[in-house]
Amino acid sequence: MNAAVNTSTAQRSASYYTASLNDTTQYPTLKGTVKVDVAIIGGGFTGVASAVELAERGLKVAVVETNRIGWGASGRNGGQVTGSLSGDEAMRKQMREKLGDDVDDFIWQLRWRGHQIIEQRIARYGIECDLKHGHLHAAMKASHMKELQAFEAEAQRRGMGDQVQLLDRDAVSKHLQSPLYIGALKNLRNLHLHPLNLCLGEARAAHSLGALIFENSEVLEIVHGDHPAVVTAQGRIEAKQILLAGDVYHKLEKRQLKGKIFPAMGGIVTTAPLGELAAQINPQDLAVYDCRFVLDYYRMTADGRLLFGGGANYSGRDSRDIAGELRPCIERTFPALKGVPLEFQWSCAMGIVVNRIPQLGKLSDNVWYCQGYSGHGIATSHIMGEIMAEALTGTLEKFDTFAGCKHIKVPMGDVLGNPLLAAGMWYYQMLEKLR
């Protein structure tokens, strides 16, 4: 089922992204002692984006990654960059006390900031990552259409009228050869891209600015105090400040972080190249996801494959047969693809926060953390990378806004966290049938 990949990239997931990456650079393992201004733990989007931001501000940065750059969710996700900010309603409630009537403007601007950062960075550093514009948020029932109408009205009011368009069933049929949807919101500001190539391109950009990058270097300990440090099996990074940016993949600082974030496993497949069928089923080459709580999402790759994901598993355990689970969804969405070969399948662990608000905070005076994007990581990680860089260089306004949010910490998190998430999603799936 999974096609072979080059041996130089075999340490990464055997995915379509790994098989089509642009950069096979292997960064060294940390050995000996290194001294920098900021040590960043985690070589995904949060870590790499923060490294670029800090290096652009003139700081000496080191990124240390257990596996390879982009090894986790940053290099395995659906590749969609959308303004559907996770936890926006919870943010609005909690942040209103601090921001007052400005909270709505703050959240609206936040929705699109990640798009701006990504597009500017791709242009500035010449990153090749199959960047495309255009997205459909697709409705499957009348209640979904009401939500899309409300969002379109807000976008119109805020001057995005030339970038959004509400489509009825007939109009959707001109964009997708699918019987599923009764309407959609077309959004030309939203993006889709090859996330692993973006992450690797940003790592290359950070490195060109003087950042040190270390792979295959698991952090065993964070040293707090007046002289903070990051310790690995073969080395040590001494820094003025440390940023823990490992999201759901690390097991560090359990006393403060355990029970705050949990893994949900998403499955993704890609078909064989579809040839003329690609333009037939998706003539405008749009990314798509639907309005359900547990949704399907898909887009076309640069070489004309359908990349399709969905059915998040909140148990925290991988599916044994991702292709078997997603094939019926593909064929239901696009009957013309019945029996199409599926050449790649892989899983993606997403860091889920109970209230869906990204978690930003400090573990001690000079050790910071940033995590928890609940399935909206590409755009959000870049927003948070900018906020963390601002905070580490003395501008704390946005950081304090997020750090002031209250989060649920589940006792016995490793035991109870995922069962509670699964129960919560069952509840929302029941609500989906009623709305």
415: helix, coil or strand? helix
377: helix, coil or strand? helix
At 315 the pLDDT is 58
- Write the burial class of residue 360 (CB in 10 Å: 0-12 exposed, 13-18 middle, 19+ buried): buried
DSSP letter for 247, please: G
At 267 the pLDDT is 93
Torsion of CA 153, 156, 162, 168, to 10 degrees: 10
Distance CA 60, CA 39 (A): 9
CB neighbour burial string for 226-255, b if at least 16 within 10 angstroms, e if fewer: eebbbebeebbbbbebbbbbbbbbbebbee
Q: Which residue has the tokens 């990314």?
A: 287
- Residues 73, 351 contacting (CB under 8 angstroms): yes
Distance CA 1, CA 223 (A): 44
Of 24, 399, 5, 333, the residue nearest 180 (C-alpha) = 333
At 426 the pLDDT is 46
pLDDT tens, position by position, 221-275: 999 999 999 999 999 999 999 999 999 888 899 889 888 888 888 899 999 999 9
Q: Which are the contacts of 334, defined by CB distance < 8 A and separation ≥ 6?
A: 177, 178, 281, 306
Distance CA 231, CA 305 (A): 42
Distance CA 264, CA 359 (A): 17
Q: Which amino acid is at 130?
A: D
- Residues 357, 381 contacting (CB under 8 angstroms): no
- Number of Cβ atoms within 10 Å of the Cβ of 341: 10
Low-confidence stretches of the chain (pLDDT beneath 70): 1-10, 312-319, 411-435
Report strand pairing: 229-232 vs 32-41: unpaired
244, β-bridge pairs: 41, 369
Of 118, 17, 59, 41, the residue nearest 346 (C-alpha) = 17
Of 325, 321, 324, the residue nearest 310 (C-alpha) = 325
At 219 the pLDDT is 97
- Write the burial class of residue 162 (CB in 10 Å: 0-12 exposed, 13-18 middle, 19+ buried): exposed
CA distances from 56 to 42, 146, 242, 386 (A): 19, 43, 17, 11
Q: Which residue has the tokens 């000496």?
A: 60
- Write the burial class of residue 96 (CB in 10 Å: 0-12 exposed, 13-18 middle, 19+ buried): middle
